[in-house]
Amino acid sequence: MDILTEALSSMRTGRPTSVRTNGRAPWGLRLPPVAGAGFHVVLYGTCWLVPLEDSPDLTPIALSPGDVVFLRNGRGHILADHPATPAEVERPDQFHPGSPLGTVTIGGDGPATSLLCGNYHLDQGRPHPLVRQLPEVIHLATRHGRHPELSAAVQLLGAELENPRIGSAGIVPTLIDSLLLYILRAWLEDQPPAAARGWAAALGDSAVAPALTAIHRDPAAQWTVESLAERAGLSRAAFARRFTALVGEPPMAYLTRWRMTTAARLLRESEAPLTTVAARTGYGSEYAFAKAFKREYGQAPGRYRRLVQAA
């Protein structure tokens, strides 16, 4: 069971959207907040990511070829050739065709930079704790042999965008979709074992990881703290303390969270009857399931399904 993939899938509300950004110095582009998580990949050239005035906790980041930036909350920011360059807002006349994605061209006649920019549509109203614990900005460099899989994905994207051919329209969105997993895997694997905390530590913990895998593999099972502790090879009390410290909530609270997350996905993405959804998430009756779902989401499962499918 790939918990990282499951956690991201539980938050997805649509396919990623992207645009190729080509700038020639001097250039600056002000990007508004997005509903989800933002990302940038520097295909060639250099630039700066500059936080807006309402982000005093963030500092400008210098970006080089192959660099990848992930913005967990899709916060608004500026991309520019230099932090002091005035930024403008995207205009329709800046976009040009000729790529599998939209392309925006901006700036003067100086050194050129090209990026792939976009956002992943993730439900930030109910983020999975794995995503919620990520840094607000993740900056990964892929030069000098670092993160070879991520680097390979960036190179493939660059090649498809530089020379679109038959199949590019299908290949590029798939690569962008995969990029998110490469980014988060690279960041998680970057954490030194001795310094890893939260989910970065939980996914590699010899006691907590098997329990998480069991919950994700079979949320309908009648798990108890005792049965999960047995899988972990710890006493009930020791397991509960360790799980809570790393995951951020007690085992049974996380089990309920994952059951409700799974139920919401089934309601959004399938026409399965409520009795089936209840059974697949560990509830013996539709009534018990509906009560638990309403407590978690503030509305009955039938109404939730109608609203999300109508959106």
Whole-angstrom distance, CA of residue 67 vs CA of residue 98: 24
User: What's the Rg (C-alpha) of the chain?
Assistant: 22
> What's the pLDDT at 90?
82
Q: What domains appear along the chain, each with residue ranges and CATH number?
A: 3-190 (2.60.120.280), 201-310 (1.10.10.60)
> What's the pLDDT at 53?
75
For residues 40 and 81, is the Cβ–Cβ distance under 8 A? Answer: no
> What's the pLDDT at 169?
85
Helices marked H in 191-235 — which ranges? 198-202, 208-217, 225-232
> What's the pLDDT at 91?
82
Pairing of strands 37-44, 68-71: antiparallel
Structure tokens given for 20: 């190729």
Sign of CA dihedral 247, 249, 252, 258: negative
Helices 286-297 & 251-269 angle (0-180, nearest 10): 100
Structure tokens given for 294: 């309403």
Q: Which residues of the chain have pLDDT under 50?
A: none
| Among 158, 132, 22, CA closest to 79 | 22
Q: Model confidence over 184-223: pLDDT tens digits? A: 999 988 887 665 678 888 988 999 999 999 999 999 999 9
